[in-house]
């Protein structure tokens, strides 16, 4: 039994390509930027094809801090333009995807009250290098400037500051060496991978026979003819394109080489996070995001780390960085893990965490614009568009940026494509809801789901996960079964069917890491992996 033909029907899309293989644009790379560019172009009335060699959002888009933020730490470097763009895009994201992005308080402990007050303006103007964290007063001034950059449309509550005993009373988990704290509000992305999938679905739903295929890679480019390969079967086919978009992230230089472009554009920086099982810290932090220095003996080398609760007793801790030009070789070693644990132990002493408390690891290579700057933390997070004219086919490459600013990056890439095609933009995505964020009224959705027979807990979880698309997921659950597959009950048999049939999930990892939250929150993953694999096998 099937609740109806889904928008992301692979058989239908492949049949349409076999019938007519001509596209206005082909987007190569299905991370968050590629997915956003695909949707933007499809909404302009173009016929667009998106191809991704692995699963959607399986690279750096699956290994981020999972926070939509304005880049408060970039203010000190004087990157006002980047910060302003980021806070605006953060607020647009919260408005456009309220079902998966919600406010979180970011708490920053400080060890002095006035330290760096005189130097702060010079550091802001890039006349002095940064050397450690300023005190409460200059940081509070920075918070007010940070909030002002969002303008009148600011979506977040105002931050605050506290010193001495008041700070420790408000935040009892802070150590005695803390002189005070400042706090701001950012957006916690509960499911960044789902946003990517929903962008893809929105693009296909826009019409014009646009299509999106995961597990499909570019193997050759000759004139306007692109040869593609289904990576799971080895089957090859060709399409014709008016413009190609290189949204390959850290693989962008390799993709450009297929078009005989040797220019190096990327300078990859790998970011590392670990997931901890730490009940005592989870209880202490509550719903706060803890933003802290790593206490390096050399102030010039200190980095900022982040810690917050994913759910129950699970916490996300990051991040360590290292230069990495080949994302396929990026990995995490014991030293990376120990660095993060040592930084946490210095900031929140007394919890005694070891590497045995790490339950999951994430590494992703951020595709920053090539830079000669040795200090990785100082490399620009701004994005850049490169336009090349290889024989027969214009190529637009998008590099750099932050996850938070993907919409603006996609817009700039789409505008470059439209310029190549001599087309005008007909629609802005700035205030366009994403996927389940469209017509999202949580109380109404929960009420409707309960009226259809679902219990309160399941109805609320579906609304909080899928937004206005929850009613469609509920149809799959009624059709395929509401039996819980995971130990925590947050994944049902019907949802697995929905992921496989309506969201192009092909593997167990697709479901664990990119369609559900089980990789980050679930327990007994080995047993769950076997159960999901058995269900998928029966559907093939």
Identify the CATH number of the domain defined by range 10-61+193-265+379-421.
3.50.50.60
* 462 contacts 468 by C-beta, under 8 angstroms: no
Three-state DSSP at 240 gives: strand
pTM recorded for the entire structure: 0.94
Q: Give the pLDDT confidence of 82-92 residue by residue, as tens digits.
A: 899 999 999 99
pLDDT value of position 127:
40
Instruction: Name residues of the chain where pLDDT drops below 50.
Output: 1, 117-122, 124-125, 127-128
415-451 in b/e form (b: 16+ CB < 10 A) is bbbbebbebeeeeebeebbbbbbbebeeeebbebbee
Tokens of 168: 């420790």
CATH number of 102-188+268-373: 3.30.9.10
CATH architecture of the domain 440-539 equals Orthogonal Bundle (1.10)
In the chain, CATH 3.50.50.60 sits at 10-61+193-265+379-421
Q: What is the pLDDT of residue 118?
A: 43
Q: What local confidence, expressed as pLDDT, does residue 300 receive?
A: 62
Question: Which contacts (CB < 8 Å, 24+ apart) does range 371-374 have?
Answer: 371/267
Q: Where in the chain is the domain with CATH 1.10.8?
A: 440-539
Placement of tokens 């699956």 in the chain: 62
Contacts of 334 (CB under 8 A, 6+ apart): 355
What CA–CA distance (Å, rounded) separates 155 from 396?
Answer: 33
The pLDDT assigned to 375 comes to 67
> Which ranges in the chain are annotated with CATH 3.30.9.10?
102-188+268-373
């Amino acid at each position: 039994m099937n609740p109806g033909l889904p928008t992301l029907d692979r058989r239908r899309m492949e049949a349409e390509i076999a019938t007519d293989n001509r596209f206005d644009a082909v987007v190569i790379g299905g991370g968050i930027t590629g997915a956003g560019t695909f949707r933007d172009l499809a909404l302009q009335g173009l016929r667009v094809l998106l191809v991704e060699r692995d699963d959607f959002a399986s690279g750096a888009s699956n290994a981020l801090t999972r926070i939509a933020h304005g880049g408060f730490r970039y203010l000190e470097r004087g990157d006002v333009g980047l910060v302003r763009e980021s806070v605006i895009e953060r607020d647009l994201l919260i408005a456009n995807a309220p079902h998966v992005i919600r406010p979180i308080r970011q708490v920053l402990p400080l060890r002095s009250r006035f330290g760096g007050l005189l130097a702060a303006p010079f550091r802001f103007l890039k006349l002095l290098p940064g050397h450690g964290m300023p005190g409460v007063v200059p940081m509070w001034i920075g918070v007010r400037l940070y909030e002002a950059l969002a303008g009148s449309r600011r979506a977040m509550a105002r931050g605050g500051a506290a010193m001495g005993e008041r700070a420790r009373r408000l935040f009892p988990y802070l150590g005695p060496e803390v002189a005070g704290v400042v706090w701001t509000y950012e957006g916690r992305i509960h499911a960044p991978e789902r946003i990517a999938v929903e962008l893809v679905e929105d693009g296909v739903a826009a019409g014009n026979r646009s299509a999106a295929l995961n597990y499909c890679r570019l193997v050759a480019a000759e004139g306007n003819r692109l040869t593609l390969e289904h990576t799971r079967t080895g089957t090859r086919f060709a399409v014709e394109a008016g413009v190609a978009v290189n949204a390959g992230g850290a693989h962008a230089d390799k993709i450009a080489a297929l078009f005989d472009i040797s220019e190096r554009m990327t300078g990859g920086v790998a970011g590392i996070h670990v997931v901890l099982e730490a009940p005592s810290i989870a209880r202490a932090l509550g719903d706060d995001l803890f933003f802290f220095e790593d206490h390096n003996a050399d102030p010039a080398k200190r980095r900022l780390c982040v810690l917050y609760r994913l759910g129950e007793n699970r916490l996300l801790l990051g991040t360590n960085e290292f230069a990495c030009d080949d994302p396929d070789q990026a990995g995490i070693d014991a030293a990376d893990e120990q660095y993060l644990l040592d930084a946490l132990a210095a900031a929140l002493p007394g919890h005694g965490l070891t590497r045995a408390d790490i339950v999951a690891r994430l590494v992703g290579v951020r595709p920053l614009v090539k830079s000669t700057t040795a200090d990785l933390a100082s490399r620009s997070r701004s994005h850049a568009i490169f336009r090349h004219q290889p024989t027969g086919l214009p190529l637009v490459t998008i590099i750099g940026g932050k996850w938070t600013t993907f919409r603006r990056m996609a817009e700039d890439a789409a505008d470059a494509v439209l310029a190549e095609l001599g087309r005008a933009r007909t629609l802005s995505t700035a205030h366009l809801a994403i996927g389940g964020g469209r017509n999202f009224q949580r109380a109404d959705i929960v009420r409707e789901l309960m009226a259809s027979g679902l219990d309160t807990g399941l109805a609320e979880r579906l609304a909080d996960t899928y937004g206005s698309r929850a009613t469609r997921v509920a149809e799959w659950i009624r059709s395929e079964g509401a039996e819980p597959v995971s130990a925590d009950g947050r994944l049902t048999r019907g949802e697995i069917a929905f992921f496989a049939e309506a969201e192009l999930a092909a593997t167990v990892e697709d479901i664990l890491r990119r369609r559900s939250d089980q990789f980050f929150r679930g327990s007994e993953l080995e047993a769950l992996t076997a159960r999901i694999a058995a269900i998928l096998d029966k559907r093939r």
